[in-house]
Structure 1
Amino acid sequence: MIQKKICLLGASSVGKTSLVKQFVEGIFSEKYLTTIGVKIDKKTLSIANEQVNLLLWDMEGNDSYNVFQEKYLRGAAGYIIVVDQTRASSLLEGIDIHTLARQVTDCPAILAINKSDLLATWHLDDSEYEAYQDLFALHFLTSAKTGNNVEQMFSSLAELLLKREKNDLTT
């Protein structure tokens, strides 16, 4: 079995914990519980006849009172920057967090634009999507509430990490 550490990063209340709960347990709760420090969950996926155990590090949100903790990224195989499509400022905060993360790791990063079940207050146009494709290996429009694209996001990241590992072994 292959084990991969995945970190979920983003501003406070963008839905990091809800995405993990939806992926691991298949549930969504309207209750908002602030993550303090880091909460670790795991889920095993079967990808290309391989068992991949994802260790999901759900990090507390970053804001003006709580700065980015790069030490949590040690050993990460990948990370997901989660932003909230109902709060444009969360995209800017997410990009800032991504910039800080890039100072300590070059592992694959995914952009998750969460809360797709709610009315968006901002949209990326085609040129912005193209710009973000240079920053992120993949991007997804997700909803932790409905489950839209949640499984696909984590599965796609696991596939990407497996391909990357196999390429590293052959080079």
Structure 2
Amino acid sequence: MNKKVILVGHFGVGKTSLVQQFVHSKFSEKYLTTIGVKIDKKVVEFDGHQMTLLIWDIAGETEQNSVSKSYKLGSHGIIYVFDVTRPSTYENLADQIDYLKSLLPNAPVQILGNKKDLISEEELESVTQAIGLPFKATSAKTGEYVEEAFIDLSKAML
């Protein structure tokens, strides 16, 4: 069973790093801007099921409606990534999620606050209060909650 998953969010939030950590168990400090879309593939197994994820790492934009709809169409799941250290990447989070849900109403959405390793628990709590939406804190650098995020989304797509 093949499922298309898109990673979206502002530039520099760590979408590519999350994919690299998930697919290749690697992390690099080098910042490489994604141009257009980069596609990776990984087979996941959970609860007796096997699923091939086709992961579309889409170039970062401040507004999701400025990203080509053609990249998003046909997606079975969405991972929206923001940077817990940069408020500008989550200020309009609810609007961005609403837009994605209107475009892909049947696709489950997983919201990830990346770069958890760069802030304290107290700072993370204030981010949680500011956002008002459920999200999971991840670190592409340490791998914290990365595998689980993709597995949780896979379960939701099943």
User: One fold, TM greater than 0.5?
Assistant: yes
Q: How many percent identity over aligned positions?
A: 41
Cα distance in 2, alignment partners of residues 44 and 27 from structure 1: 17
Instruction: Give the CA deviation at 1:70.
Output: 2.0
Instruction: Give the CA deviation at 1:94.
Output: 4.0
Instruction: Give the CA deviation at 1:49.
Output: 1.6
Matching residue of 2:157: 161
Could you tell me whether the CA contact under 8 Å between 2:83 and 2:115 is conserved in 1? yes
| 1:10-65 Cα deviation digits (max 9, x unpaired) | 0000000000000000000000000000000010011222210011000000037x
Cα distance in 1, alignment partners of residues 19 and 152 from structure 2: 15
| 1:116-156 Cα deviation digits (max 9, x unpaired) | 0002665212xx67x424xxxxx311000000000000011
Cα distance in 1, alignment partners of residues 10 and 92 from structure 2: 6
* TM-score w.r.t. length of structure 2: 0.88
Note the residue ranges of structure 1 that are not aligned, 5 or more in a row. Answer: 134-138, 163-171
Matching residue of 1:18: 17
Which protein shows a greater Rg? 1
2:119 counterpart SS class:
coil
1:19 counterpart SS class:
helix
Count of residue pairs brought into register by the alignment: 152
Matching residue of 2:74: 75
Q: What code does the residue aligned with 1:92 have? A: E
2:116 counterpart SS class:
coil
Matching residue of 2:136: 140
- Match runs of 1:118-129 below 5 Å: 118-119=118-119, 122-125=126-129
| 1:54-96 Cα deviation digits (max 9, x unpaired) | 11000000037x9222221111111011000000110125444
Note the residue ranges of structure 2 that are not aligned, 5 or more in a row. Answer: none
- Match runs of 1:2-151 below 5 Å: 2-63=1-62, 67-106=66-105, 107-119=107-119, 122-125=126-129, 131-133=132-134, 139-151=135-147
Could you tell me whether the CA contact under 8 Å between 2:94 and 2:133 is conserved in 1? no
Could you tell me whether the CA contact under 8 Å between 1:45 and 1:155 is conserved in 2? yes
